[in-house]
Amino acid sequence: MNNCAENLFPSGVLRNLENLMGYHFKDSNLLARALTHRSYVNEHEEMRLFNNESLEFLGDSVLGFLVSARIFLRYPELTEGELSKVKAYLVSATNLAKLAESLHLGEFILLSRGEEKTGGRTKRAIIADAYEAVLGAVYLDGGIDAVADFLDSQINAYLDDLDIRQLTYGDFKSALQERLHNLGRSEPVYRVVNEIGPDHNKIFVIQALADGIVIAEASGGTKKEAQQAAAGLALKNLASEPS
């Protein structure tokens, strides 16, 4: 493997991330590859590095399986459609970015100078993708049980705090419109604030506004998906307000 941890990271850096994760790699080169963004690879062609995209692909599949199993066992009364909505919420780019931020993952990612200057370490798409790549690396290093233990430490709090009724309500945009109407506020407006990535794999970042005030921001692979995610998050933010 060309992504040699000793050549890419100062001594002790990866150990710091492992301590935050609560998992220590037998092969630290896997973790190094999971943290290597394609922009860094393109900028250092002479090093013949691998980027983290194939590990992201693997991690996405492992994540989907483990999350599906956990919500199925925890909420056996839900229908397939309802389980799909809960899963979509948990594995959304917004939530994955939050999990990544809890590990300060952005501080460890290898980026090009250009990506670094444009705030790549805090871009949701980059850190969410890196998080999935790390899951893929853990799977290759320690197997499915290792990923399950790590993921449980990350998402159990999310599962405990889920408002299942809200998540399975149906169309989040319609539900938000009704909620705002009951509060005597204006209808929601959705605004695209960023588009990240190439056309074939673009991530849209959208804000939901009411009365000109931003009440939520979320991302998705399509504008419709991002709007629904923003509406769902807005509903959660408004949950404590009286009807």
140 in Cβ contact with 158 (< 8 Å): no
For 236, counting Cβ atoms within 10 Å of its Cβ (0-12 exposed, 13-18 middle, 19+ buried), the class is middle
Q: What is the DSSP string of 50-103?
A: --SHHHHHHHHHHHHHHHHHHHHHH-TTS-HHHHHHHHHHHTSHHHHHHHHHHT
Calpha distance 148→152 (Å, rounded): 6
Residue 132 is among the residues annotated as catalytic for this protein: yes
Calpha distance 100→120 (Å, rounded): 13
- The per-residue b/e assignment along 66-78, b for 16 or more CB within 10 angstroms, e otherwise, is bbbebbeeebeeb
Identified catalytic residue from 27, 53, 60, 101: 60
Identified catalytic residue from 132, 141, 217, 225: 132
Residue 145 is among the residues annotated as catalytic for this protein: no
Calpha distance 27→106 (Å, rounded): 21
Q: What is the DSSP string of 157-203?
A: HHHHH--HHHHTSS-HHHHHHHHHHHTT-PPPEEEEEEEES-GGG-E
204 in Cβ contact with 210 (< 8 Å): no
Residue 151's identity, in one-letter code, is: L
Encoded tokens for 47: 């090093």
Annotated catalytic residues are: 60, 132
